[in-house]
Amino acid sequence: MSVNLSAYNKIKDQLKPYSAKLVAVSKIKPAADIQALYNAGQRIFGENYVQELQEKQAVLPADIQWHFIGHLQSNKVKYIAPFVTMIHAVDSMKLLEEINKQAARYNRTIECLLQVHIAEEETKFGLNEKELEQLLEQYNKQQLPHIRIAGLMGMATNTDNAGQVKKEFHHLKELQQSLKACFFADTDTFNELSIGMSGDYTIALEEGSTMVRIGSMLFGARQ
């Protein structure tokens, strides 16, 4: 077992002043490691692969809040819809509609975050600002009662330049606030900002993160 409980306690203390949540990223780690962190008090775990998540959910405590944080294909939603709490990386209306459809089968509401492309690296995933506004306009016109758009998610450029990372996170926070005012002004939603991982979570907290996704600091390096 390779769970670093001292790092866990340190991170929890760092999050307290910001009232931010810790998503313990447990992909490729055994159920025993997740159980050890659960025993220490952690309840939110993030997974990237549908089959692996299904297998772990079946053998671990029922009150774990599972967050799916990887890229999710529409045809895989049905496998996690019965239990997943939040889906972090939604990047299309098609995916939102499928999540709503599958959640309806279980009379559940699934929280979703819209993934925004803020990094300089080329990536296949994440909406640009224009696509984001178009999606929200479409969402407001449609009835999707079994999903709740809770906010935005993003990944900064993989760089040692802390100033650049800070700028990207700051921009996403401003974008979240402006979209909240425009599309969700009279609601108690769109408040979440999932930014920050093991290498940059302290910057993310300073820039308004409500949710950090940390794996290697807690579970050790992945093979």
The confidence score (pLDDT) of residue 85 equals 98
pLDDT in tens, 187-202: 889 999 999 999 999 9
CA count, 13 A, side-chain hemisphere, 126: 18
9-56 tens-digit pLDDT: 999 999 999 999 999 999 999 999 999 999 999 999 999 999 999 999
How do residues 65-118 score in pLDDT, each as one tens digit?
999 999 999 999 999 999 999 999 999 999 999 999 999 999 999 999 999 988
Q: Give the span between the Cα atoms of 19 and 46, in whole angstroms.
A: 19
pLDDT band at 125 (very low <50, low <70, confident <90, very high): confident
Give the dihedral sign, CA 16/205/197/216.
negative
**pLDDT interval class at 124 (50, 70, 90):** low
- Which residue ranges form the domains of the chain, and what is each CATH number? 5-216 (3.20.20.10)
**Cβ(7)–Cβ(222) under 8 Å?**
no
Distances (CA, A) of 162 to 7, 158, 168, 197, 217: 22, 10, 10, 13, 19
pTM of the model: 0.94
